[in-house]
Amino acid sequence: MSALDLPPGMGLTGAQLAVFKAPRRASVLAASAIVVTIILGVATWYFVSLRPWRRGSSIMITLPVALFALSLLGYAVRRAQLAITRDGVRWGWATLGFHQPASAIVVAHIYRDGITLEAKRGSWWFLAARDWERFDALVRQLRRSDLPTEDHDRNAPLRARMQSYGRFLDGLMVASIFGAIVIALWAA
């Protein structure tokens, strides 16, 4: 007798074969962006409070909040995990995630710089090698999950690589840090 009866694939994910995280350097960059934007944001607000009538004070008050929000978004994305299960591939956090079911995956194209999960309908997923630790283990676990795979001895095509968020996200974190520095210097 069960206390909870759910149809297959509804609500409960299968046994995870492996879970992958963002590279340590990317996670550290995102955490650093949060710390820097908070410290420099507080400093900026202090400098503005000394001379609130100055031209551009409203920008100096609101921009640190926007930069903090961007760095918080980057940190949240870098905390997401990729889980390979026999039921498919899941990206997200413990309470919120996106699932590509195995039944919807036609083939997993394995390239030197990433994996493209070709879907029957909807969007394809590209998992860039630089966005996940232990990419070789990710490929092994994907093969172990009994998904159909196709190896390619080249880099992924441009249309697949355009889905990779890693470089853009790292650039956004650097821009948040740089923006916080510029605003703090302007306010000082």
Q: What is the pLDDT of residues 40-57, one digit of tens each?
A: 999 999 999 998 888 888
- Read off the pLDDT of residues 54-75 as tens digits, 9 standing for 90 and up: 888 888 899 999 999 999 999 9
- Read off the pLDDT of residues 124-158 as tens digits, 9 standing for 90 and up: 888 888 888 888 888 888 888 888 888 899 988 88
Assign 144 to helix, strand or coil: helix
Q: Are strands 105-111 and 149-151 parallel, antiparallel or unpaired?
A: parallel
- Round to whole Å and give the CA distance between 160 and 168: 15
Instruction: Confirm if 19 and 85 have CB atoms less than 8 A apart.
Output: no
Instruction: Confirm if 71 and 63 have CB atoms less than 8 A apart.
Output: no
DSSP conformational letter for 112: T
Tokens of 186: 């302007």
- pTM given for the model: 0.78
Which range, of 22-31, 68-77, 90-99, averages the lowest pLDDT? 90-99
